[in-house]
Amino acid sequence: MADKPKVEFIDNPNPIRRKVRVEQGIDPQNLIKRADNQVAKLSGEFEEIFAENIVALGDAMTSLRQSGGTDEESLRRLRVLLHDLRGQAGTFGYPLVSKVGDSACKFIDLSETIGGTEVGVLNMHVDALKAISQAKIKGDGGPIGAELMGGLRKVIQKYNEKR
């Protein structure tokens, strides 16, 4: 019988404790209110960021469309913008933007190649984000948001059926 490895216990120091300042006696509800106030202040900035990203997404899509999907730098830029939007949008009251961004990112990640058909699917995602931005749709978008997401799901289902 082979020797079993010995069990070793490692006492892991808590480096976070040295980096985080703990304020004694602070009411947790007060901390939550302060955090909510900060998020509310940044919410207006997100709307500006969203509008700027829509322009950048449009530029990346134009380059990607003109190349037939072969412009790897445009695809990378598109993916980064979509990833950033998907990560930030929900925090600032735009979960529909997060859903559309997530759908597009997953589509890119799961596509073996990017050609004209894939560019068309991505363009539909960018168009959906443009519509959300122009209509200033917050939250889940209600019936309009459900229709947008349903349409994108159908497009992806048809794409998957043809592959």
CATH at residue 46: 1.20.120.160
- Residue 38: give the domain boundaries: 25-162
Asked whether the beta carbons of 61 and 75 are under 8 A apart, the reply is no
Say which amino acid occupies 155. Answer: V
Q: Is 69 part of any domain? A: yes
Q: Is 3 part of any domain? A: no
Q: Is 88 part of any domain? A: yes
The pTM of this model reads 0.78
The pLDDT tens digits for 49-99 are 999 999 999 999 999 999 999 999 999 999 999 999 999 998 888 999 999
Q: Is 126 part of any domain? A: yes
Q: Is 5 part of any domain? A: no
Q: Is 90 part of any domain? A: yes
Under 8 Å CB-to-CB from 132, ≥6 apart: which residues? 94, 96, 97, 100, 141, 148
Total domains in the chain come to 1
Q: Is 119 part of any domain? A: yes
